[in-house]
Structure formats: C-alpha cells, structure tokens
Structure 1
C-alpha cells in the first residue's frame, strides 16, 4: 500500500493506493473522504507522451528525437537569447521540487525574471489582497477554522464542485450548528445547503461589502479598540463610509433589503466568523479591490488574527500554495521574499550566483502577449486554452521562436503551437511534496514504474547543459532539503523544521508563528467601485461567467479519460430562455465581440441577464475579454458581455 496525495484541487486529500484509490483516514485534510475524480485518478493511464517531439516550424509535423537532443535544443536557444526574451510558464500542478528548480534556474542563473504560473489566472488577486492588508501572502486560517466557526460565508465560491471533500465536511459541520451564507449570481450546489443565499449581480460584490461596512458603522458593530491595537487606519476611511447610501448600493448589487438585513443579523449574532472566496472575487478586473473590501469586513469587526475568525481564501490547484511559497510568481523572488536589494543579496548568497534581476518580471498574460519572447518554456499547464481572448493568445504563440512544452499527456491546446514537447512524469510516477490550501505539506509518492523524467529533472538537466553549478541532484528529497533550508531566509516559513522522510505518514503544517508574524500589521484600506469591466449594451445584453464541474479538471486531459460528463452547454435563466423562445437542449450561439461559440441551452437558477459556460470547454476563452486587474494582472474571466443568437 502506497500513501500519497491527490493531484486535483487545493484541498489536498490524502490517498492510500492498493489495487484502487481510497481516502486516507489519518490525513488531516480529508479524514478518509474522497471525490469521484480523485477515486479514479489511478485509472488515468492513456494518451501519454513518451518520446520528445520536435519541429523547426510550427506548421511542420513533429518528429521524434532523443531526450539528449531535446535538452541541447533548449540550452542552445537559451545561450543565444537575451534573458529578457526568455520566459518560464509554470503550474499549480507542479510539485514543490519542480517549482523550486525551475525558479532557481530561471531567476538565479538564466537571469530572467519572466517566471510566472497559471496561479496568476486564479489566485493572484488573493495574493495581492492579503499582502496589501496584512503585509504578507501568508494565508492566516485553515479549513479547520471554517469547520469549527459559527458562521461561514462563501462569496463567489462553489465549493460543492470546486472543493468537494471540503464541502462534504462543511455539510457535516452544519449538523453541529454551523451556519452558512452563500453569495453568488447562480444558485449553485453549494447554495442548496445555505442558511442564507444572496443572489448578487455579477460584479456587485464591492457594492454589497460597502453597504455592509456602512451598516456596521451605523449599528455600532465596528470594533475600534481592536482597530487601534491591530491596524493602521485613517479617519478618512470612515468619512468615506458615511457617504455610502445603503439602499443605492444594494440596488446596484442586486441584493434585496430583506436578505441584507438577514445577513447583518447573522453577523451580529455569531461570535466566530470565517469567510472564503475563489474565482467569483479573484477573476476580475477589480479582483484586488474585491478581496480587500471582503477582508475589511473582518478587520472592522475585530474578526481577525484569532482562531475561528477571518478571511480564508481557497486555493484551486493542488500545489498553487506551494508555488507561492517557492516563489513561482513573477511578482516574488523566492520563499515569499519580494524583490528588494536586501532580498536579492540573500538569495544570491544562498544559490551561489550573482546579478539576479532586481525587479518583478512579466506576469502570465503579459509574458505571452507583450513580452516579445523568443523562448518560452511551458510546464504542466495549457495557456493557449486558459488565457483570455484566445485569438490574441494564439497569435502571440505563433510569434515566439521556440515554444517548449513539458507535459505528460497528448492533446493540449498549447501543443498545437509548440516546437518542442518533452515528456514528463505524471501523478502515480513522480515523487515530491505538495502544499494544500491551508499550508499542509504532504508527500506525493509513486506507485507505478516511471516512464519519463520529472519536471525538476528536466530543469536540472537544462541547467547542467548550460554549464551552471548547483543542479546536481539525485533525488526529490535532495531538492526538497535544499528548498527547506532556503526557507530560513523567511523566518516565518518554518518549513525548515519539516522532515521529508516523515511526510508520508505525518503531513506537516507550516506557519506556527504566523500570529506574531502578521498580527498587528493590518492596514484598513478604503475601496470603492471602479467599474473597469466591459458593460452590457443593446448589442451584447447578457453577461458571461465561467463555472467549474465537480467531476472534471481544467481542460479534461486526465478526467475525460475516465469520466464522460458533458461540458458543451450554456446555462441560462428560465425567463430569459422563454423571452427568447429557447427550449432546453436547443443549440444556440453565444457571441461576444471576440468570437462565437455554439452550445446547447440548459435551464439554470441564475440571475436574469447572466449566462454561464463551464471553464472545461476548450474553446471557452475565444469568448472572454482581455482586461486584467491592473495590480494582480488576473484576467476578468467573469464579466464578458455577450448576445444570444437562435439558430
């Protein structure tokens, strides 16, 4: 029997594999529970890439080459390319060891700061929101806080389909008295268990949160004693708050006065309150402001910096947290260190290198579309599929001289634009560590024969081919041990106390000193609605949002092998369907100013004027707009105006 960890969502469920996959009852994240896609993960064995594939031109057919030739092609291109024209596009599906070596190679030795991850498209707004308010991207709570508090508020987060095992644990907690509020323009499976469901307008979050803050002020709910002890703030904040007209803001939010009053009463009558969010707040042109406005609710009422209280962002990918910790984002250097002269010097001394870039690099969408790159290495992700405004994305990929894809499976959308594809080991064959959404590090163990190198081995081989020292590792354990020593540069990251050999049977939660690290550093920041997103008009009267299905994962490279749930549909409000003469199952066109997609119509309990398409549909981002949050650079996936054409 092999103990390992799931490679799908951020819950990080522990598994036992012996003939079949079952949940590990001793693992703190799932206590033996398991979802359908996780239970079938060992059955995903087809469609593998096992030989490197190369073509000079993107229009040519691929031909098989040796692994040694593949490494030489990459190394030669890097040697003859300016560092500013080289990019690394990483993934929350990588293990910590993969992330670490990629980050070390790129920032430390190739000297490019264009290193980013697909977490940019899902978690960047939360990262920036935390850093602006509490001074660091240390998620201050755990799932246990949410399960044991009195009131749990979910804003733009459908955990029933995105964090399934955690959702099932929330349902169990409800039987013990937990109250749940769900804020979403769509009546989701999560909303079905809510004590209060608030059907908000798309983009109405900040209006609601500001109305709540004004009500807190009016009703004497603001904990000024707490603020004076734990936060920096100006009286201007409250002067601004007094200008808020609650009725006007509720109308803009699309929230009834009755539901608003019920929400305020729940806040008043419950001592311990936790709030969570995912893509409904993050994937927005105002993602950072939405995060800050939500976090402010907890700060104003003193529901912060103590057990069972505060803002808990829910990470979507299995190791997006690990990527943040290692330094896989363009906006950080390494181990939660920002780009400062002092930090650059520390990292140079640790890695034994010099001349590390001293400023942040291009983020994911910028790197591809504005970086004028000559070499892009894409590892375990599919940016052609997941970046917004896909026509623009495809054009950018065609213009990059050398696109290198590291992948385990055939058929990615990015492979259509790659010059070189290098096979890497998938879950079941690779070993290393993974950090779940509440900082629990678990060992992912292999239980099948390895048919390709791990991502970190490929990055290390590129480093050696370039003549760099510091890449002679013989195991994942060696890589992890170097990484954990590096975390001493960030003293609050006590990962250096973790023992690799113990992780299989005893996962490790880092952050025992976080209370002292972040308590008292909070800033109360005034946020108002900015309206950066595209606005519906007579030509495009509906708003498109994107959703997730419980049994599929991203572009379904893995899950579609074992699960046949359909994704080719668009959800619509029943009244909208009637007014347009559309019956369920009719094929209709969804048209944005960027493209057209034809899908089957499906009735949904969704706000009038809103339509929803699963993000798993490979062509979804032909429709989406190219607006980014100006600070987090996260795409505005959930606010694209569209029209409906009846075929």
Structure 2
C-alpha cells in the first residue's frame, strides 16, 4: 500500500479531510484525516465508502462525438476540441456572445471554476454561466449580500462548541451533514439546547429539545414573529444596532404588522402557540445562538427573504461576530463556496465583485487585460434552459452536472437539449440522462485524479490532491477549458502550467485594488474575500498548502470568524436589516393536486448517484425510490404502504414505492432527489417540480409543488439478484441496486406472463448445459421463485408475487459470497426464507459497519440496551459517522414500549 495522500472529501460542504491510499492494483482505502480541522478524523458513511466509487466501470475515458444516426464515435482530443471551439466561434459570429452558455457544478475545483468564468465573462463577453449551486445556495448568497454587503458566512464550526442554543432551520443535518451534526451532539452533551424547525420529523428531530413542524413556506412569518418578540421584550443590543446597522425601523414595521401577535404566527405556521413561545424564549434567553440553515430555507420562492428574516434576529440581538453566535449557511456541495469566490453564478464576477457595478467590471477587466467584460448579469439556471429551448442560446457546455435529473421541470430541460444546436458535456460518466443528448462528450478527471482546491461552508480552503493516475484520456476541467480558449484565439491569457498558476492568479485578483482608495487614482473596491497571504505561493508551497480560512492575512494565517470588529462590507461598513415579507408559495394545492411535494436527500446517497450508486455499502439503507406520505393521505389517494404509486404534478410524473416514515404531516409528501434513468425506470422527481424561482436569487422552489398520488396498478411484484446486469426493457417498473458481488433489481409488471418459468429462464439467461435451474411455483397465490446455479454456485435468483410483501433481501445477498450452495441453502431459496432468525440481519441501519435492524433489535432485547452507546459497544453500530444514532434511539424506544405493553 502506498503512502497516504491528504485530500478532501468530494461530497457535502463540510469539507472533511481524507487520507487516501491506493495499492498497486488501484484498490483505494480512505480514512478521516485527524489533522484536518473540519472533521478531526471523522467521516460520514459516504466519505468512508469513497474507496468503493473509484473504479472505472461506466467511466467516460475518451472524447466522443455524436454521429447523425445518434451513435457515438471515439475521436482524438484535437478533433473534439476543434468541434467545440468551431461551434462556439460560429455561434458567436452569427448570433453574438449571449447565444453561448455554460452550466457548471459545485463539483468543480476552484481552479476549474476560475478559468471557465474568465473565458465566459472576460473573453467571450457573456455572463451566461451558471452553476448547479444556483439550486442549493443562491438564496443564502443573495441574503448575505443584502445584509452584509458581500457573500459572507460569519461563523465557523468551532462556534457550535461554544453555543448555548443551536437552531437548525430546514436542514436534516443528521443525514445531510453528519460530521457537523456530531459537533452539535457534543454541544448538547455539554448543555446546549437544540431546536429543529422543519415540516418533517426527520432523523435530526430525534435529538431535538424542541421541534417546530411549521407549514412549508411559513419561515418568514416565524422569524418576523421572533424579531417582533425580541424587540417587544427588550432583547436588543441597542449599542450594536446603533453603531453597526441600518434599516431596523422598516424591518420592524413589516414584522410587527404581519407577525406581531404570536397567536397569529402560530396559526399561520401551523404550530402550537406554547411551542412557538418556547422557541422565542429560548432564543431570547441565550446570548450564544448559532442558527444553521440549508435547503429548506433556500429552495423556495421566498428563500432570500427567509434567510434575511433569520439574519435580522441575529442583528437585532447582536448575536453575530462573537464566539458561539451567528447565522450559518451550511452548503450542500464540496465547492459551492469556492465557485462563488470566483464568480460562478451568472450575476457575479470573480473575487466577490458584481457584474452590475461598473467599477467592479473595470477592476476585473484591468486585472485580466481582457478584450471585453460581460456588461449585464447572465441567465440563471432555470431561465438559461428556457433560453436554450427558445433558441436564444444555441451552444451550451455542461460541466460535471446532470440537469436532466436535477433541475425543476426536468422534462423541459431534456426538450431544450434536444433543440440545442451544440451540447457539450464534460463529465466522468459516459452515460447520464444529460450526456445522452450531447453532441460532444469530453472525459474529465474525477475525485482522486485531479488537483486543486475547494472551500467549505466555514470558508476553509483545502487541497484536493491526486492519488490515482488519470484514466484513459481524461483531462482536468481547467485544461479542457484552456485548450478551447487557445483555439478561440486567447492562448496568452490561458497559458497555465497547472492548477498552482491558476490558484495564485485567483488569490492575486482577490487582493487587486482591494482597499478603499487607490494610490494611482484607479478605482478600488474593498472586499472581505482576500487571499493576499497566498498570492505569492510557489508550487511546492501550493502542493503542501494546509487548510486555511479566508480572509488570509499577509503571513498566511486565516480568520475563523468574521465581523468581530463590527465592520461589514457595505460601503458605509454597516449591516442592513431587510424588510422581509411573508409570501405564500406561487402554486397552492387544489382539488386536482391536493398534496404538497417536498424533495431532498436520503442519508447514504448523493445527488444523482453517479458516484454513490457504485457503492454496495451505500445501497443498503434505502435502495429504492419512495414517496413518504401520511397514512391518512395514502388512504384518500387509494394507495397502500409497500405498493407502487404514481406521483403527478402539472409538470410531470414519476413512480415510487409508498412509505409511511412517520414524520410527514397530512397534506404533504416527500420524495428523494437521487434516482435517475440509470438506476430506476421512472423516478426523476425533478420532472415534477415546478419551475418557479425566487425573484431575488433565482433559486427554484423544490420544497412546495402541488401533486396528487394515485395507484400504479401491477399484476406482480418481484426482485432478482444476478452476477451480471439484466435487461430491463419491457418491465413496467424497475430499480437497480449495486451489491457486493451482484446486481439487485426490484421489479413489477402490469401484465403477468403466461408462463412465469419460461419468462424467468429467458430473463436470467438460464440456457446452457452447465445451468442448474431450481424453481417453485404456487399458482393459487401467484408466488414464483427460481434460482440459477452453475457448478453449484448461485448465479441469479428471482422472486415473484402478486403481493409486495416479498422475502427479506439481506440473507439472500450472503449466498452470493459462497463458492457453492448446499442442500439447506437450496431449500431456503425455494422456501423464500432464511434458515434461522440469525441468518437474516434485516434492513441496514448502520451502513458504516453493515449492521441490520434485526441484529440490533435482538441485541437490545437480549442485553437490555437502553442507549445508542450501549448498542455501539456491542455491535459497533453508530460508532463511526453517527448518522444512524437517531434510528438506534427509535429502535430502543420501540423495544422498550413493546416490553412494557
């Protein structure tokens, strides 16, 4: 095994440090980096399973171009790059620079982001470059700029340890940011209180001292009510407000008018008045309050106002710019913040400067010595794809993202790509829902192969370092962009030797004319984003760069917390209260679409599963798309738990398994965002989501789409295991799940085959002299089971039934690890059950250690375990990332309730 390489996890914005090792065969092992201040060696299960995701199965390894018949032809880099450059040049010559566009990703490194923004805004002259960060953090960005004058996150992770009260708003932190949640858990153990504000009762709520299940979209009323309550009760830092803020009277006038009476607020938000007042009093009584907010706030047509209404409460009470206090936007992607630093959004310039400001444009153009600079903000994500469909954008380059799955009204996005003259996709995956429509596919480097930096939620810059060789002909994104820029005639400006040169240029730009006045009389603009202390790094120092939080001082040291001096980034140095008005969502439920759809993540998957879908460990917890709904709504909709249902909106439809998770209010449903055409037959929830956006930030409304749920009738349900991938054409429903030595399929069919045995033999390819076929059929109950063996080794099996309550899958998975099956195993296969209770560990609860629910429940009963720590001591479950601890708590409570019954 080679020496460990210190790098950074490619998942959420926590920015955990990772030590990665690759042996001579390419097998990768990872562990947390104990020296990294973001995580001190801790990793969530997704980070711990990174080694399972670095294989080359499904990788795009060579440039490809699409032929007229729709097939793809492998080409050399020169032909592919010439085609991209020629297409962009021809489009600009005929239609102007705004006829081309880029849609990029928070998966890019800062250096990649920097060069593509430089090319678009400074050389092509268009601001039509946006990012999938628009979908997750742009409302927070807009709120920060309105309140602070710049996109600034004032707090750091260490503030969680010093907080007396932690407020989580619209964030299932236990699942989405488990390492941050471990910090919150330790703060609670030290005496801090935890309030969770979320319409759903999530895993995070299990640990809360108070859960406020507010109606979706009512956050502004909640926090306007808090602002009014704090003012009425004298919880105001008058000295701070007078010296460092403006706009209080206007914000208070709005808050008092619409939310001055807590009883009215409780009614609007749909919570108990006593619970509402309990939250307000907790906030009022504790000086050190950290309020973390995420997608539940941002992904809304009023997301910017929601964030500002929360920030207002911190400004009024002076709970900002001091240890243990402040509003904290926690980001969803590994480099959402790094992309924002270099102008990754369509309305921004590099180094936190603004496109609408002529002084800022002059500064950036002067630094770049560019022939032009984009003069107007570009098209934001949803509007960008509308422009593609309408023919106003004719050439589009998509980098590292999958908008046919992830954007709202996703079927319209697919139509836009079909209508576009030139679609270029840079990606690591050959076949995605998006790349299926590309004219040119460009193979990019993936995690473990590329070199550069990312910035975490707390402004901490960390290195991503390569520990694997570049596969095939894959290239770094920055290099691909530079190669096209050179073909467009901009060779001198894009002649970088490597990512070090790009990073240093980025650092120099953050310091360029970053002061109130310029000695040479040229324009200047003061920004808190300042990497001047890194602007002179040589290449060895860049390679060895330790994690550091910006602003970075001249001596290279970082800054943990902002605003401690009371200085904000508005021209007068003062923060702004923002008068935030509560607004109902644009589309309300009605008789046709009576339910409200909320979307989000599950614990062990990531985005559209192009990486996590490769990991058997991560498929164990929730392997199938589902619609979580209240039993009463299911009854009214005519669907039952475990059966399939169709979820329909005015924009699209999908099919998923009905689930009663126990945390859904009546009138609401929840569907995860992850599944795509590679892993499920019809589960892209983006196709349902309404495309309305926040008027300030342009962020789409992913948390409130009116839908209906209706039966998806099938004649039989089933599942299959096979050592090879099986054909899915003709199946009415299927989901693909990766196992250790097999592929698992959950399937259903509207029509029952006339001969189940013949159908199963054909599907599993049971022909051949060496094939041994075992089968059992009960025509009266509609049950059919069969297994294919070769040399007594299990090759495949299929279980079919007219009912969805099929046998457990976990014990069957174990049989694929055996070299041969004995008589007892064969009998169990046909009987459809494990040989004994110990043989079936049940559904995975702890993915880190592969511990199942049955195993945990048995240990709780037999050893009288009453705490998660007790379970960890016996089974290790919960002892790594901790994201399963809420589920362990529930299992313990259920077991004790059963024993007392």
Using the size of structure 2 for normalisation, the TM-score is 0.70
Q: Secondary structure at the match of 2:429?
A: coil
In structure 2, how many angstroms separate the alpha carbons of the residues matched to 1:497 and 1:54? Answer: 44
**Residue in 2 aligned with 1:75?**
85
Among 27, 30, 36, which residue is 2:36 paired with? 27
Distance 1:441 1:241 in 2: 38
Tell me if the contact between 2:500 and 2:542 (Cα under 8 Å) persists in the aligned partners.
no
Indicate yes or no: 2:595 matched with 1:584: no
Aligned ranges 1:368-407 → 2 under 5 Å: 368-370=385-387, 372-407=392-427
The superposition leaves residues 155-214 of structure 1 with CA deviations (integer Å, 9 ceiling, x where unpaired) of 101111111111122212221122111000111111111111111111121121122222
- Corresponding residue for residue 11 of structure 2: 8
Shift of residue 411 of structure 1?
A: 2.4
* The 10-residue stretch of structure 1 (360-369 or 562-571) with the greater mean CA deviation from structure 2: 562-571
1:365 aligns with 2:382: yes
- Do 1:208 and 1:255's aligned partners in 2 also have CA atoms closer than 8 Å? no
Kindly indicate whether residue 227 of structure 2 is the aligned counterpart of residue 210 of structure 1: no
Report the Cα offset of residue 222 of structure 1.
2.9
Using the alignment, how far apart are the partners of 1:11 and 1:409 within structure 2? Answer: 25
User: Secondary structure at the residue paired with 2:354?
Assistant: coil
Distance 2:543 2:75 in 1: 38
Structure 1 residue 509 corresponds to structure 2 residue 549: yes
Q: Which has the larger radius of gyration?
A: 2
Partner of 1:261: 277
Structure 2 gap segments, 5+ residues each: 23-28, 515-526, 552-558, 677-683, 713-901
Instruction: Give the Cα–Cα distance (whole angstroms) in 2 for the partners of residues 504 and 192 of structure 1.
Output: 41
Contact 1:567 1:614 in 2 (8 A): no
Separation (CA, whole Å) in 2 of partners of 1:349 and 1:238 = 42
What SS class does the counterpart of residue 699 from structure 2 fall into? coil
Q: Is the 8 A contact 1:3 1:17 kept in 2?
A: yes
**Cα distance in 2 between the residues matched to 1:183 and 1:496:** 39
Please give the alpha-carbon distance, in whole angstroms, between the structure 2 residues aligned to 1:241 and 1:373: 42
- Equivalent-residue separation in structure 1 for 2:124 and 2:248 (angstroms): 44
Q: Which deviates the most, 425-434 or 353-362?
A: 353-362
CA shift at 1:246, angstroms?
2.5
Q: Say how many residue pairs are matched.
A: 646
Gaps of 5+ in 1: none
> RMSD over aligned Cα, in angstroms?
1.7
Match of 1:344 among 361, 377, 386: 361
What's the CA shift for 1:583?
A: 3.1
The one of 537, 547, 552 aligned to 2:605: 552
Return the TM-score normalized by structure 1: 0.97
- 1:251 is displaced (CA, Å) by 0.8
Aligned to 1:318: 334
Distance of 2:248 and 2:456 partners within structure 1:
36
Partner Cα separation in structure 2 for residue 199 and residue 341 of structure 1: 45
Q: Is 2:595–2:669's contact at 8 Å kept on the other side of the alignment?
A: yes
What's the CA shift for 1:144?
1.5
Deviation at 1:314? 0.5
Partner of residue 412, structure 1: 432
In structure 2, relative to structure 1, the CA distance for the partners of 1:449 and 1:292 (3 Å cut) is: same
* Greater alpha carbon shift after TM alignment, 473-482 vs 180-189: 473-482
CA contact (8 A) 2:262 2:276 kept: no
Aligned partner of 2:152 in structure 1 is 138
Distance 1:374 1:241, change over 3 A: closer
**Match in the other structure for 2:529:** 493
Q: Distance in 2 between matches of 1:356 and 1:450?
A: 34
Deviation string 1:208-231 (CA, Å, 9 cap, x unpaired) is 112222222332223333211111
- For 1:449-468, list aligned pairs within 5 A: 449-451=469-471, 452-468=474-490
- Given candidates 133, 136, 146, the residue that maps to 1:119 is 133
Please state whether the residue corresponding to 1:430 is helix, strand or coil: coil
User: Looking at both structures, which has the greater relative contact order when contacts are Cα pairs under 8 Å and sequence separation is at least 6?
Assistant: 1
The alpha-carbon deviation at position 240 of structure 1 amounts to 3.5
Q: Provide, for residues 405-462 of structure 1, a one-character-per-residue CA deviation record: whole Å limited to 9, x for no partner.
A: 0001122211121111000100011111111111111111111111211000000101
Deviation by residue 1:299-318 (Cα, 9 ceiling, x = unmatched): 12221232321111001100
Indicate conservation of the 8 Å contact 1:286/1:530, yes or no: yes
Q: 1:288 aligns with which of 304, 315, 319?
A: 304
Structure 2 partner of 1:635: 700
